Amino acid sequence: MRIGFGWDSHEFRSGVPLTIGGVTLPHAQGLAGHSDGDVLLHALTDALLGAVAAGDIGGFFPPSDPKWKGADSAIFLEEALKQVRKAGYSVANIDSTLILAAPKIGPHAKAIQAQVAKLVGISPGQVGIKAKTPEGMGTDHAAIAHVAVLLEKATRQRKRGALGRRKARKHSTRR
Site string for Zn ion, 33-52 (x = CB under 5 A): ---------x----------
Give the residue from 110, 94, 69, 79 showing the smallest Cα distance to 4.
Answer: 94
Does 146 help bind Zn ion (rule: CB under 5 A)? Answer: no
Which range of residues in 8-16, 45-53, 113-121, 134-142 is near Zn ion by CB under 5 A?
8-16
Q: What residues have CB less than 8 Å from 54, skipping those under 6 apart? A: 80, 83, 87
The residue of the chain with the least Cβ separation from Zn ion equals 42
Q: Under a CB-based contact definition with an 8 Å cutoff, are residues 56 and 4 in contact?
A: no
What stretches of the chain show up as alpha helix (H) in DSSP? 39-51, 57-60, 74-86, 109-120, 162-174
Give the residue from 106, 162, 95 showing the smallest Cα distance to 128.
Answer: 95
Q: Which of 4, 6, 8, 131 binds Zn ion (CB under 5 A)?
A: 8
Question: Residue 61 or 89: which CB sits closer to Zn ion?
Answer: 61
- Please give the Cα distance from 68 to 78 (Å, whole number): 14
Q: Under a CB-based contact definition with an 8 Å cutoff, are residues 37 and 120 in contact?
A: no
Task: Tell me how far, at minimum, the Cβ of 61 lies from Zn ion, in Å.
Answer: 10
Question: Residue 77 or 129: which CB sits closer to Zn ion?
Answer: 77
Question: Residue 42 or 146: which CB sits closer to Zn ion?
Answer: 42
Task: Tell me how far, at minimum, the Cβ of 44 lies from Zn ion, in Å.
Answer: 10
Task: Tell me how far, at minimum, the Cβ of 166 lies from Zn ion, in Å.
Answer: 44
Binding site for Zn ion (CB under 5 A): 8, 42
